[in-house]
């Protein structure tokens, strides 16, 4: 099995809440950076 396929299967089998945490974390970091830069 290729590495790409393995990573894809791993991501698909990972729990949905990990994605929620990851996405909300990224949004929070982006929000803090934007606030800090006063954009």
The predicted model scores a pTM of 0.50
**In the chain, domain spans:** 15-39
**Residues 16/21/26/27 CA torsion (nearest 10 deg):** 100
Phi, psi angle pair for 2, to nearest 5° = -70, 160
- The confidence score (pLDDT) of residue 33 equals 95
- The confidence score (pLDDT) of residue 11 equals 74
- The confidence score (pLDDT) of residue 35 equals 94
Q: What HEC string does 22-36 produce?
A: HHHHHHHHHHHHHHH
- 1-39, pLDDT tens digit by residue? 688 898 888 777 878 778 888 899 999 999 999 999 986
**Residues 24/29/31/35 CA torsion (nearest 10 deg):** 160
- The confidence score (pLDDT) of residue 31 equals 96
R_g of the chain computed on alpha carbons: 15
């Amino acid at each position: 099995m290729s590495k790409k396929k393995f990573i894809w299967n791993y991501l698909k089998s990972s729990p949905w809440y990990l994605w929620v945490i990851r996405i909300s974390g990224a949004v929070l970091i982006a929000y803090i950076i934007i606030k800090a830069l006063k954009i």
